[in-house]
Chains A and B, each alone.
Chain A
Amino acid sequence: MTVPLDPVVSLLPAVVDLPFREGYVRSTIYVSLYVSVIAVTLSTLFSLPVAMIMGFSDFRGKQFVKSVINTGMGFPSVVVGLVVLFAVSNQGPLGTLELIFTKEAMIMSQFVLATPPITAVSLAAITGVDENVRDAAHVLGGTRLDVALVVVKEARYGIATAVLAGFGRAISEVGSVLIVGGNIVSSSGISSTRTLTTAIQLEARQGQYDTAMVLGAVLVAIVLTVNAIVVRLGDDGVMQ
Chain B
Amino acid sequence: MSIQRRQFIATLGGGALAATAGCTGSSGGQSESGGSAGVAGETLTLTTTTSTYDTGLLDEVHPDFEEMYGVTVDAVAQGTGAALESARNGDSDVVMVHARGLEDEFMRNGYGINRRDLMFNDFVIVGPESDPAGVQGMDSATEALTTIAEAEATFVSRGDNSGTHTKERNLWEAAGADPGGDWYQETGTGMGEALNVANQQGAYTLSDRGTFISQRSEIGLIILVQGPIEGGPETLANPYGIMAVNPGVHDNANYDLAIAYIGWITSPGAQDAISNYQMNGEQLFFPEAVSENPDFQQYVPEGWSSDTSG
A residues with CB within 8 A of B: 19, 34, 38-39, 42, 83-84, 86-91, 93-104, 107-108, 111-112, 182-184, 186-189, 192-193, 204-208
Contacts and interface: CB of A to CB of B under 8 A. Distances in A.
Nearest to B196: A207
B89 A90 contact: yes
20 contacts: A42-B16, A84-B9, A89-B89, A90-B91, A101-B45, A101-B76, A101-B91, A103-B26, A104-B25, A107-B16, A112-B12, A182-B74, A184-B75, A186-B72, A193-B26, A205-B50, A205-B190, A205-B196, A206-B192, A207-B219
B17 interface: yes
Contacts of B73: 186-187
Given A102-B25, A187-B58, A207-B192, 16 more contacts: A34-B25, A38-B19, A83-B2, A91-B90, A95-B90, A99-B17, A101-B74, A101-B91, A102-B28, A103-B20, A104-B16, A104-B25, A111-B16, A182-B76, A189-B59, A206-B214
A3 B26 CA distance: 19
Given A38-B20, A93-B6, A99 B28 contact: yes
A183 B77 contact: yes
Q: A88, A94, A98: which has the most chain B beta carbons within 10 Å?
A: A98
A42 B90 CA distance: 29
A96 B29 CA distance: 12
Contact of B16 (A95, A108, A189): A108
Contact of A104 (B28, B45, B190): B28
Interface in B156-207: 189-190, 192-193, 195-196
A19 B53 CA distance: 13
Contact of B10 (A87, A187, A204): A87
Contacts of B20: 38, 103-104, 107
Contacts of B59: 19, 187, 189
B282 interface: no
Contacts of B219: 207
Q: A93, A97, A193, A207: which has the most chain B beta carbons within 10 Å?
A: A207
Contact of B17 (A83, A87, A104): A104
B66 interface: yes
A204 B219 CA distance: 13
Contacts of B13: 87-88, 94, 97, 99, 104, 108
B33 interface: no
Contacts of A206: 54, 192, 214-215
Contacts, number: 120
A183 B48 CA distance: 12
Interface string B60-72: 0011001000001
A97 B17 contact: yes
B137 to A, nearest CB: 26
Contact of A100 (B12, B66, B91): B91
B28 A98 contact: yes
A205 B218 CA distance: 12
B250 interface: yes
Nearest to A115: B12
B15 interface: yes
B6 A184 contact: no
A93 B10 contact: yes
A151 B13 CA distance: 31
5 nearest CB pairs, A to B:
A90-B90, A182-B76, A187-B62, A207-B218, A205-B192
A10 B47 CA distance: 32
Given A89-B91, A103-B20, A98 B15 contact: no
Contacts of B193: 204-205
Contacts of B29: 98, 102
A75 to B, nearest CB: 11
Q: B28, B73, B250: which has the most chain A beta carbons within 10 Å?
A: B28
A87 B9 contact: yes
Contact of A188 (B25, B45, B63): B63
B42 to A, nearest CB: 12
A98 B30 contact: yes
Contacts of A103: 20, 25-26
A45 to B, nearest CB: 9
A87 B30 CA distance: 19
B283 interface: no
A103 B24 CA distance: 10
A138 to B, nearest CB: 34
Nearest to A103: B25
A149 B101 CA distance: 65
Contacts of B17: 97, 99, 104
B13 to A, nearest CB: 5
